[in-house]
Amino acid sequence: MAVNLKQLTQHEELLTGGHRACAGCTGSNILRQIMLTAGQNTVVGGATGCMEVVTTIFPYTAWRTSFIHSAFENCAATVSGAETAYRALKKRGDLPREETGRKNFIAFGGDGGTYDIGLQSLSGAMERGHNMVYVCYDNEAYMNTGIQRSSATPLGAFTSTAPAGKVKQGKEQNRKDLTKIMVAHNIPYVAQTTPFHWKDLATKVEKALAVDGPAFLNILMPCPVGWHFDTAIGMQLAKEAVESNFWPLFEVENGVYKINQKPKERSPMENWMKQQGRFKHLFRPGNEAILENIQTYVDEQWEKLLKLEEMTAK
Amino acid sequence: MEQKLVALSGNEAVAYAFKQARPHVASAFPITPQTEMMHKFAEFVANGETETEMILVESEHSAMSAAVGSAAAGARTFTATSSAGFALMWEIVYVAASLRLPICMALVNRALSGNINIHCDHSDSMGGRDAGWIHLFSENAQESYDNAVMAWRIGEHMDVRLPVMVNYDGFIISHTADALHMLPDDAAYDFIGKYKHAYTLLDPENPVTVGPLDLTDYYFEHKASQLATYERVPGIVQSVSEEFGALTGRTYQFCEEYAMDDAELVIVVLGSSAGTCKDVIDEYREKGVKVGLLKIRMFRPFPVQMIAEKLAGRKAVAVLDRSASFGGQGGPVFMETRSAMYGQQVPVNNYIYGLGGRDFDLHQVEEVIDDLQKVAAGEELQLINLLGIRS
Ligand SMILES: Cc1ncc(C[n+]2csc(CCOP(=O)(O)OP(=O)(O)O)c2C)c(N)n1
């Protein structure tokens, strides 16, 4: 399953340009890369959120494959319905067109639509075993409605609903580890990646689509508006999120963990955070303890991940 | 057409009707009193009597969402629920109608919380009355079955393409064995016909974008086109009912008239309570009281014209509502009926009854008819009344 950049670039673009994502958005890039791998015979469902809003506005659409949006919290259930319909129609010879080859079903949602309001719908669809891939593009807040905190927002980050002020210093909780929650569903394939790591991403999309049953991809999506950074550096931040161990590249295939990239020496979280306005307040005097907590948490999570890899090695 | 006479509960009868449509997909989540209907259907699937794929979801919200995904993919799809389950679906109930997906749903009517109550009233269905579905109501197992056969034809008609809700009263109909005539499977399927989609997500050569962002420049036009559809629905319901009547001998109108020809006093009601009213009306008729019944079968779209015509010139009308509109002026059936009668000089009163499954008995009907007689004689009674509550 070797991914070849030259080949990928020759695939048809299924997410067209001209959509209305912000300058420097890495989310449209994620979708574009996924679609290059998935191909035309794909049904895509999107949860309410930035990516659905910027790719469809009547009478326009950026989708060259079929696309459905129903609501914020139900993307997994909606796509599970389409996938079931496909099986039912196929069984009876009722499909609109004779088909050869694989049909892909991809559902995507932001972290709000996935970690929070859509978690039940996602959990149900994964447990039922539908042949579909759920992609969370994780920009670590509800961006579409104005940067409110979600359960994916990291400790200390400034959001509109958990701002930094005289007595509060941004979000007071650590982020939820959704990827592991998905691993606990014992589905065939779960992975984390970023849009910077195009080869890793394409390989994981390919693997996720190939498995018999459900798969889940969690993809970090640096957001210039919500994270407050220069529009040019989104991809750089995706890269550094991996180098700091904040967002490890790993996959879990049939329960076996594999870390796809192990930094020789992890870079300190501060380096990554300093480039993002959402963490600016943490560098004021008096907030050293929070910075320390953030670093400790990331290091602990990394250690746990290493152990999981060791424990599940075959 | 020769039809089998069988004894079935309402839930079983509807499960049969749905099986006869050979749906591709059914999504379901348990809630009393709908449960039995899905048990029965699951048995059909387990025994290979239908090839339907079931999606056994983790909530009613997902039941409706999965139904939307399935129907948008071009599959004949149904679900079923009651009460809180319907309330949980609410957001997606609108989506189903707006995306013009002819999903069928059995809504086994049950009171809404709180406090929690498992018995019949119509507050669940009424909560969704503006969502864009066609609402059919049933008096007994026979009508539940017949509605559940006709629902597909109505919703899937290319000039309609709307979801249809078959309402039948929780426990009173759903759990009571009743005699009914059923079409043979093949005849029912021939009547319903093979499913045709209006659009599908599954044709890679004709990709569609469904449910896009739709703002100030187009949303209203889309709603205008949806609104225009409901004007077409009654004609199609009528032609489907006539065809069904020719096949089965059972012809339905938007409203059933009982003892209406010379009626001076009229009761308007939905669902199983019509049967109770008919019994008492028979008694009063024997005593010479000219009382009749107008049973509404199709609550959405509301048959304004028929109701206005049928009630014109009567001496008094009593509208019975098995749900309340808190802070509103009477129950929803009352509001709609009175509005349909605008400009008429006929006095109309409202009776809220049977909430949370409170028995609707003969005495309550007697009370209503006695009131109707007083109103006809010129007495002015309270506009909105509660029937059958303890003092
Ligand atoms: C039931 C419901 N609640 C709230 C909203 C409002 N809403 C729309 S998008 C959104 C935020 C989406 O956040 P996320 O899933 O993180 O995606 P992003 O906007 O970051 O792309 C919210 C709160 C909604 N559409 N539906």
Cα distance between residue A119 and residue A113, in whole Å: 7
Cα distance between residue B148 and residue A174, in whole Å: 51
- Please tell me whether residues B242 and B326 are part of one structural domain: no
Q: Which domain holds residue B352?
A: 255-386
pTM: 0.98
Helices (H), B249-302: 273-286
Burial B214-250 (b: 16+ CB within 10 A, else e): beeeeeeeeeeeeeebeeebbebbbebbeebeebbee
- Please tell me whether residues B237 and B300 are part of one structural domain: no
For chains A and B, CB pairs below 8 A equal: 182
Asked if residue A118 has its Cβ within 6 Å of ligand 1, the reply is no
The pLDDT > 90 percentage for chain A reads 96
Instruction: For chain B, give the mean pLDDT.
Output: 98
Q: Which domains, ranges and CATH numbers included, belong to chain A? A: 5-312 (3.40.50.970)
Residue B238 belongs to some domain of the structure:
yes
Report the residue from B91, B206, B209 with minimal CB separation from A67.
B209
Q: Find chain B residues with C-beta within 8 A of A95's C-beta.
A: 202
Query: Is A33:A193 a contact under the CB 8 Å cutoff?
Result: no
Query: Is B129:B331 a contact under the CB 8 Å cutoff?
Result: no
Using omega within 30 degrees of 0 as the cis cutoff, is the peptide bond preceding A59 cis?
Answer: yes
pLDDT digits (tens, 9 = 90+) for A131-150: 999 999 999 999 999 999 99
Nearest C-alpha to atom 5 of ligand 1 is from which residue? A72
pLDDT digits (tens, 9 = 90+) for B122-155: 999 999 999 999 999 999 999 999 999 999 999 9
For the cut 70, the answer to whether the pLDDT of residue A186 exceeds it is: yes
- For residue B279, give the CATH number of its domain: 3.40.50.920
pLDDT digits (tens, 9 = 90+) for A86-116: 999 999 999 999 888 899 999 999 999 999 9
Mutate to test the pocket of ligand 1, among A144, A159, A176 (most ligand atoms within 8 A of CB): A144
Mean pLDDT across B356-383: 98
Mutate to test the pocket of ligand 1, among A108, A138, A145 (most ligand atoms within 8 A of CB): A145
pLDDT at B152: 98
- Please tell me whether residues B20 and B156 are part of one structural domain: yes
Instruction: For chain A, give the mean pLDDT.
Output: 97
Minimal CA separation from B296 to chain A, in Å? 32
**How many degrees, rounded to 5, is the angle at CA A71 between CA A65 and CA A72?**
105
Q: Under 8 Å CB-to-CB from A166, ≥6 apart: which residues?
A: none
Q: Report the separation in Å between the CA atom of A108 and the middle of ligand 1, taken as the mean of its atom positions.
A: 13
* Domain-ending residue, one of B195, B214, B248: B248
Q: Mutation test of the interface with chain A: which of B53, B95, B209, B210, choosing the one with the most A Cβ atoms within 10 A?
A: B209
Cα distance between residue B94 and residue A72, in whole Å: 14
Residue A208 burial (CB count, 10 A): 27
- Please tell me whether residues B230 and B104 are part of one structural domain: yes
What is the three-class DSSP state of B328? coil
Q: Is the ipTM of this complex over 0.95?
A: yes
Mean pLDDT across B309-321: 98
Residue B391 belongs to some domain of the structure:
no
Q: Under 8 Å CB-to-CB from A292, ≥6 apart: which residues?
A: none
Cα distance between residue A187 and residue B122, in whole Å: 42
Using the beta-carbon criterion (under 8 Å), do A78 and B52 form an inter-chain contact?
no
Residue B320 belongs to some domain of the structure:
yes
* Domain-ending residue, one of B215, B248, B281: B248
Q: Is the CB of residue A117 less than 8 Å away from at least one CB of chain B?
A: no
> Which residues on neighbouring strands pair with residue B8, listed in sequence order?
B178
- Please tell me whether residues B104 and B132 are part of one structural domain: yes
Using the beta-carbon criterion (under 8 Å), do A89 and B24 form an inter-chain contact?
yes
The pLDDT > 70 percentage for chain B reads 100
- Please tell me whether residues B218 and B269 are part of one structural domain: no
Residue A83: exposed, middle, or buried by beta-carbon count in 10 A (0-12, 13-18, 19+)?
A: buried
Using the beta-carbon criterion (under 8 Å), do B202 and A58 form an inter-chain contact?
no
Alpha-carbon radius of gyration of chain A: 19
Q: Measured on CA atoms in the order A221, A227, A232, A238, is the torsion positive or negative?
A: negative
Residue A60 burial (CB count, 10 A): 15
Q: What residue type is assigned to position A290 of the chain? A: I
Report the residue from B58, B73, B209 with minimal CB separation from A82.
B73
Q: Is the CB of residue A13 less than 8 Å away from at least one CB of chain B?
A: no
pLDDT digits (tens, 9 = 90+) for B83-137: 999 999 999 999 999 999 999 999 999 999 999 999 999 999 999 999 999 999 9
pLDDT at A310: 98
Residue B102 belongs to some domain of the structure:
yes
User: What is the H or E stretch that residue A269 is in?
Assistant: helix A269-273
**How many degrees, rounded to 5, is the angle at CA B160 between CA B156 and CA B166?**
60
CA closest to B194 among chain A residues: A94
Query: Is A222:A237 a contact under the CB 8 Å cutoff?
Result: yes
Half-sphere exposure of B238 (CA within 13 A, CB side): 10
**Residue A31 tokens, joined:** 């979708």
- Please tell me whether residues B74 and B217 are part of one structural domain: yes
**A147 Rama sector, left if φ>0, alpha if ψ -120 to 50, beta otherwise:** left
pLDDT digits (tens, 9 = 90+) for B171-185: 999 999 999 999 999
Residue B40 belongs to some domain of the structure:
yes
Q: Report the separation in Å between the CA atom of A247 and the middle of ligand 1, taken as the mean of its atom positions.
A: 23
pLDDT digits (tens, 9 = 90+) for B223-244: 999 999 999 999 999 999 999 9
For the cut 80, the answer to whether the pLDDT of residue A1 exceeds it is: no
For residue A2, name the pLDDT band (cuts at 50, 70, 90): confident
- For residue B225, give the CATH number of its domain: 3.40.50.970
- Please tell me whether residues B177 and B90 are part of one structural domain: yes
Pairing of strands B209-210, B164-169: unpaired
Q: Measured on CA atoms in the order A211, A193, A64, B24, is the torsion positive or negative?
A: positive
* Domain-ending residue, one of B248, B279, B296: B248
Cα distance between residue B361 and residue B70, in whole Å: 43
For residue A49, name the pLDDT band (cuts at 50, 70, 90): very high
Nearest C-alpha to atom 13 of ligand 1 is from which residue? A142
pLDDT digits (tens, 9 = 90+) for A218-259: 999 999 999 999 999 999 999 999 999 999 999 999 999 999
Cα distance between residue B7 and residue B180, in whole Å: 6
**Residue B143 tokens, joined:** 């009508």
Q: Under 8 Å CB-to-CB from B283, ≥6 apart: which residues?
A: none
Q: Report the separation in Å between the CA atom of B278 and the middle of ligand 1, taken as the mean of its atom positions.
A: 52
- Please tell me whether residues B168 and B261 are part of one structural domain: no
Cα distance between residue B252 and residue B148, in whole Å: 13
pLDDT at A99: 83
What is the three-class DSSP state of B327? coil
Q: Measured on CA atoms in the order B229, B231, B235, B238, is the torsion positive or negative?
A: positive
**Residue B149 tokens, joined:** 């056969």
pLDDT at B251: 94
pLDDT at A3: 84
Q: Find chain A residues with C-beta within 8 A of B207's C-beta.
A: 63-67
- Please tell me whether residues B227 and B360 are part of one structural domain: no
- Please tell me whether residues B176 and B293 are part of one structural domain: no
- Please tell me whether residues B211 and B285 are part of one structural domain: no
What is the three-class DSSP state of B99? coil
For the cut 70, the answer to whether the pLDDT of residue A314 exceeds it is: yes
Pairing of strands B316-321, B348-352: parallel
Total structural domains within chain B: 2
